[in-house]
Amino acid sequence: MDSCKVADELEELLREASQVFSDYVRSSRDPQALVIPRIDKLDLNIPEKDGMGAAGVWDDIQTICGAATNTWSERFLYKLYASPTPIGVVGEALVGLLNNNAHVFQASPIGALIEDKVGRQLAELAKFPVDTAAGLTFPGGSYSNMHALMVARNRRFPELKRGGFTGAMAGSEWRRPMIFTSAHAHYSIEKAAVAAGIGLDNVVSVPTDAAGRMDSRALRALVEQAVADGGAPFFVNATAGTTVLGAFDPIDEIAVVCADHGLWLHVDGSWGGPLALFSSDEELGRYRVDRADSFTVNPHKLMGVPLQCSFLLMRDGLNPMREALGLGASYLFHGGSPNVLDDVGDATMGCGRRPDAIKLWLAWRYHGTLYYQRRLAAARRLALDFADMISERPPTALGCWRLVAAPQSTCVCFWFVPGQPNLVPLPAWGNATRLLCARLNSLGHVLVDYATVDLPAGPLPTFFRLPLNSPHVTKETLASILAAVEQTAQALVDEDPRCFLMDSS
């Protein structure tokens, strides 16, 4: 196929795609659109000989769109992401069109330049030193967190890079590497510890305060106890926006402990990180991350960039990553250039890299910084307004509303308590949440989630957790969901008056 025919085929496909995709978004935004469509028949077979061609493929694409979870609906309040912005879709298509590999400069020069610029811009917003800080993209926050841990491990225990744990443990001075993270931290920290050979037994879970924030005094005591017991603490993970409560750990207090004991401080801001980057001056004190050694932020969550787009920002730049992880494979990484952008793939645990920074850069250029400041401020205001709606909503004949805690970011957690709270056992609160959530989601018009956490006073009964992300969500949207919960409760009680008292776990 000559070049003109390739371009003509692409033009024809994109023309059709433009119509199909825009029609899909238009129908998905309809107030009556299902969030969880019902999948009827879907032909997944691969043609053994000739393909189906354009006509058959567009039928398939429309079928997939009709069966996919509808993240474009304002009633998709299930996980920590929502629909992308339209320019984000264009950026995703652009990355696919270029098909560049961002592991060496020559393979993706424009991708490398954009990644460098965006990484430094994000680091500057995080108040990292502008003369050293830099950032790289990874396929998700879990991989960003894992790379931060691997760099910290190999910096503290450089012998592990070559000799591994077998060689290191043969030395007379060997002490067990230990990491510390909040009891409410994302499980990726524990998975990273497994991948790094640290082991789950050497991950110390630090209790939280009543608001779900890491207890810095408990952290200090646990670090000192670990040292006294012969361990070698080296890494602390703080969280900027925990997965469930959206809590922000007291990073300044944690940084003091890390400085006193020579520990690497990583901040996992996969969810709440953009609040630390784009908040107003009066909110900035709540969300500061500037004392961290490394910082994860996922623009594919609160910033509306398409999945996946995650940045790991490094206070001291990329050289610590190269020293800790690089192997300098000569068949790929030729080196010898003063360009700091050469061979960035050698600073990672992988090889092939999508130039995902292009998606964020294009969206940032399109919208401007003010857009993100306003978007995040609006999400924060909506979370506070929603918390007030729950606290002030009058009880019904079937029950009443209770807020779990005042929102610290844009996650709002609450119960619909069947009956009178002082007369209903706590397990029934959680049972009601699970039943209501399951029935609501089964109808397909909303998609919401539930969770639970342990606090110093004990485990909380299961509660609704709604992350407010999409700018399409309004107070009217949230009021309609509360009303839907009440209507669903009535329907369940009509079917079985004792349903909330029975265990549904």
- Window from 66-80, 127-141, 177-191, 326-340 with minimum mean pLDDT: 326-340
C-alpha 390 chain-centroid distance: 26
d(CA 53, CA 50): 9
Nearest to 475 by CA among 374, 375, 382: 382
* Predicted local distance difference test score (pLDDT) of residue 344: 87
Average pLDDT of the segment spanning 273-283? 83
pLDDT digits (tens, 9 = 90+) for 213-271: 999 999 999 999 999 999 999 999 999 999 999 999 999 999 999 999 999 999 999 99
pLDDT at 342: 75
Structure tokens at 392: 């002030």
pLDDT at site 284: 56
Please count the other Cβ atoms lying within 10 Å of the Cβ belonging to residue 52: 12
Rounded to whole angstroms, the Cα distance separating 231 from 233 reads 6
Residue-averaged pLDDT of the chain: 92
Mean pLDDT of 43-49: 89
Per-residue pLDDT of 98-127, as tens digits, reads 999 999 888 999 999 999 999 999 999 999
Q: Check residue 56 and give its pLDDT.
A: 87
Cα 126 to its chain centre, rounded Å, is 17
Q: At what angle do helices 357-367 and 86-98 cross, to 10 degrees?
A: 140
pLDDT computed for residue 281 by the predictor: 64
Give the closest residue to 79 by CA, choosing from 433, 440, 469: 469
User: Do 239 and 249 touch, CB atoms closer than 8 A?
Assistant: yes
Query: Is the pLDDT confidence value at 443 over 90?
Result: yes
Per DSSP, 271 falls in state: T
Average pLDDT for 404-413: 96
Per-residue model confidence as pLDDT tens digits over 475-505:
999 999 999 999 999 999 999 988 887 666 5
How far apart CA 401 and CA 393 sit, in angstroms, is: 7
User: What is the tens place of the pLDDT at every residue in 127-139?
Assistant: 999 999 999 999 9
Q: What is the mean pLDDT of residues 266-292?
A: 87
469/282 Cα distance (integer angstroms)? 21
Q: Rounded to an integer, what distance in angstroms lies between the CA atom of residue 453 and that of residue 182?
A: 12
Closest C-alpha to 266, from 170, 185, 191, 379: 185
pLDDT at 333: 75
Complete edge-to-edge strand list for the sheet that includes strand 411-418: 76-77, 447-451, 463-467, 411-418, 399-403
Average pLDDT of span 308-313? 97
Q: What per-residue confidence (pLDDT) applies to 446?
A: 96
Pairing of strands 310-314, 134-138: antiparallel
Q: Residue 43 — very low, low, confident or very high, per pLDDT cuts 50/70/90?
A: confident
pLDDT reported for residue 38: 81
| Alpha-carbon torsion (407, 412, 416, 417), positive or negative | negative
Maximum distance among all Cα pairs of the chain, rounded to whole angstroms: 77
Q: How far apart are CA 318 and CA 344, in angstroms?
A: 8
Q: Among 503, 390, 483, which residue's Cα sits nearest to residue 75?
A: 483
Listed range (160-164, 187-191, 489-493) with the worst mean pLDDT: 160-164
Contact between 281 and 318 (Cβ < 8 Å): no
